[in-house]
């Protein structure tokens, strides 16, 4: 058995900055409400027609990660792509990355675990590397939310939160099993599936033709729905549980954490976790202020920025944790 370790990180966000004041011009909201409730100051939105998609952003992030990993694209043995906003209903973006990067015909897997998508994707990559089946795995989290949001007052509880962007990581084999990814922990609770969901179009529900036939101006089923307070309450509990689970598995304490990179759901959630584990500002990385919630892309974007800022050093204990739609949640414990 081997461990896996991250040897390259990259991120890409579209250039177009959308501030809270920009949003207040198209819906009833304001900078004070958004900052107070979420910590978000601005986010990036792809401008329609600019050519950026979930896949192209993922490819841009992946190219940086591969270059920093110091490997050739043809050394990649497997691709794992996490998103809730794929370019096509099918096929998923994994194969589009294989095509666009010109990688040989390796396997490409799409992960649909929303805000926990990157944590799930890392866990999958880790298992393949641990068993020796693959040596180098490319993991991408990318989202293009902005084209699918209800940008009216009706949708403000959701649409002010989400932003576009992508992050990527290259994982490789580590022979020293005291280093790299020490463990991953995944959970789900489908009982609350609809509390944070986008239910149409869906084959088991309403298909595109049904939506067109109904032509109902009050139809909200093709916009994301979030029971914000319920999600918030579950998030703080599950984030805490899954971090403790990861630490206990490795006989570690919260005081051992050098850097916690939480999924950027809401600054208030991160601050709650920080306080609960009595971590200093230096021990928790947040960038939701700049990018909003980028779902599967949020952890790899944050981890890349933390690494670029020198906040992730060899030997550090780095903890990734996520919670989101499904509900799904998980953590990754890394000895960098
Ligand atoms: O990443 C996946 C996991 N997602 C999360 O973890 C998100 C968890 N939830 C949250 O972050 C918060 O619940 C929100 C930020 C979504 C909402 O904050 P909240 O403090 O729970 O506000 P609320 O939904 O209870 O709304 C409070 C008030 C309402 O008005 P009334 O009924 O009190 O008159 C809303 O209509 O704020 C109103 N409101 C807004 N006002 C201005 C909702 N959205 C907005 C807005 N601007 N954008």
The question of whether 266 is a catalytic residue gets the answer no
Contact 160 CB / ligand 1 (< 6 Å): yes
Residue 295 Cα: closest atom of ligand 1: 1
Pocket lining: 84 vs ligand 1, CB cutoff 6 Å: no
pLDDT at 208: 93
**pLDDT at position 148 over 90:** yes
Burial of 155 (0-12, 13-18, 19+ CB in 10 A): middle
Residue 232 beta carbon below 6 angstroms from any ligand 1 atom: yes
Q: Does 332 or 219 have the greater pLDDT score? A: 332
Residues 157-168: what's their mean pLDDT? Answer: 98
Residue of 176, 164, 185, 206 lying closest to 58 (CA atoms): 164
SS (H, E, C) 243-285: HHHHHHHCCCCHHHCCEEEECCCCHHHHHHHHHHCCCCHHHEC
- pLDDT for 11 equals 98
* Amino acid 49: pLDDT: 92
Per-residue pLDDT band at 251 (split at 50, 70, 90): very high
The question of whether 115 is a catalytic residue gets the answer yes
The pLDDT mean for the chain works out to: 97
- C-alpha 150/C-alpha 283 separation (Å) is 35
Rounded Cα–Cα distance for residues 61 and 59 (Å)? 5
The whole-number average pLDDT for the span 241-255 is: 98
For residues 182 and 4, what is the distance between their CA atoms, to the nearest angstrom? 8
| CA distance linking residue 227 with residue 245, whole number of Å | 26
Mean pLDDT of 153-179: 98
Average pLDDT over residues 82-91: 98
Beta-carbon contacts of 95 under 8 Å, excluding residues fewer than 6 positions away, are 108
Alpha-carbon distance of 328 to 176, in angstroms, equals 30
Give mean pLDDT, residues 146-159.
97
CA geometry: angle at 234 spanning 233 and 235, to 5°? Answer: 90
CA distance 120 to 82: 8
Is 104 exposed, middle or buried, given 0-12, 13-18 or 19+ CB atoms closer than 10 A? Answer: exposed
H-type alpha helices, 112-260: 117-130, 156-159, 208-214, 228-249
| pLDDT at residue 273, as a whole number | 98
Is 215 an active-site residue?
no
Tens-digit pLDDT profile for residues 16-34: 999 999 999 999 999 999 9
Among protein residues, the one with the nearest Cα to ligand 1's atom 27 is 157
The confidence score (pLDDT) of residue 193 equals 98
Using pLDDT thresholds of 50, 70 and 90, give the confidence band for residue 89.
very high
Our answer on whether the CB atom of 332 is closer than 6 Å to any ligand 1 atom is no
All domains in the chain, ordered by first residue? 3-174 (3.40.47.10), 180-335 (3.40.47.10)
Contact yes or no for 196/227 (Cβ under 8 A)? yes
pLDDT at 279 over 90: yes
pLDDT at 204: 87
DSSP code string of 48-109: TTS---HHHHHHHHHHHHHHHHT--GGG--EEEEE-SS-SSSSS-HHHHHHHHTT--S-EEE
User: Tens of pLDDT along 184-238?
Assistant: 999 999 999 999 999 999 998 899 999 999 999 899 999 999 999 999 999 999 9
């Amino acid at each position: 058995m081997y461990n896996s370790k991250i040897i390259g990180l990259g991120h890409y966000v579209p250039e177009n900055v959308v501030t809270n004041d920009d949003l207040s011009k198209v819906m009833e909201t304001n900078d004070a409400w958004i900052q107070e409730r979420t910590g978000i100051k601005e986010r990036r939105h792809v401008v329609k027609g600019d050519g950026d998609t979930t896949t192209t952003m993922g490819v841009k992030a992946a190219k940086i990660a591969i270059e920093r990993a110091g490997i050739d694209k043809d050394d990649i043995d497997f691709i794992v792509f996490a998103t809730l906003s794929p370019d096509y209903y099918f096929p998923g973006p994994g194969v589009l990355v294989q095509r666009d990067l010109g990688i040989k015909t390796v396997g490409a897997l799409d992960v649909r675990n929303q805000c926990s998508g990157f944590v799930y994707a890392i866990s999958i990559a880790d298992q393949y590397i641990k068993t020796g089946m693959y040596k180098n795995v490319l993991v991408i989290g990318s989202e293009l939310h902005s084209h699918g949001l209800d940008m009216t007052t009706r949708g403000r509880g959701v649409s002010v939160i989400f932003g576009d962007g992508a992050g990527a990581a290259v994982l490789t084999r580590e022979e020293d099993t005291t280093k790299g990814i020490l463990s991953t922990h995944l959970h789900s609770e489908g009982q609350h599936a609809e509390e944070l969901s986008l239910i149409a179009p869906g084959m088991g529900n309403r298909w595109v033709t049904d939506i067109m036939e109904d032509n109902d101006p009050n139809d909200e089923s093709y916009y994301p729905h979030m029971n914000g307070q319920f999600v918030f309450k579950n998030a703080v509990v599950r984030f805490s549980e899954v971090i403790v689970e990861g630490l206990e598995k490795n006989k570690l304490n919260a005081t051992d954490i050098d850097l916690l990179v939480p999924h950027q759901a809401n600054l208030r959630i991160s601050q709650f976790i920080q306080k609960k584990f009595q971590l200093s500002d230096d021990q928790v990385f947040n960038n939701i202020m700049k990018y909003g919630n980028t779902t599967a892309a949020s952890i790899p974007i944050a981890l890349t920025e933390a690494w670029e800022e020198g906040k992730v050093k060899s030997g550090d204990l780095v903890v990734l944790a996520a919670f989101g739609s499904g509900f799904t949640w998980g953590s990754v414990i890394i000895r960098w």
